[in-house]
Amino acid sequence: MRKLSGMALLAWVLVGCAGGGASVRQDQVWDARAASEAEQVMHHFHHAWDNMDMVAVEKAIADDGFLVTFEFTEQAEAVRLATKQELLAWLKKGFDDIKSRNASTVAIPQTKMECRATSNLAVCIEECDIIVQRPDGVREVTPHRGTSVLRKGQDGWKFTHWHVSESGSRRLVSRADTTGQGHGGH
The predicted model scores a pTM of 0.75
Q: Let me know: does 157 contact 151? Beta carbons within 8 Å.
A: yes
Give the right CATH number for 41-173 from 3.20.20.70, 3.40.50.1100, 3.10.450.50, 3.30.9.10.
3.10.450.50
Half-sphere exposure of 44 (CA within 13 A, CB side): 16
Q: What is the pLDDT of residues 129-164, one digit of tens each?
A: 999 999 999 999 999 999 999 999 999 999 999 988
Q: What is the mean pLDDT of the chain?
A: 83
Among candidate residues 9, 22, 42, the one with its CA nearest the CA of residue 117 = 42
Boundaries of every domain in the chain: 41-173
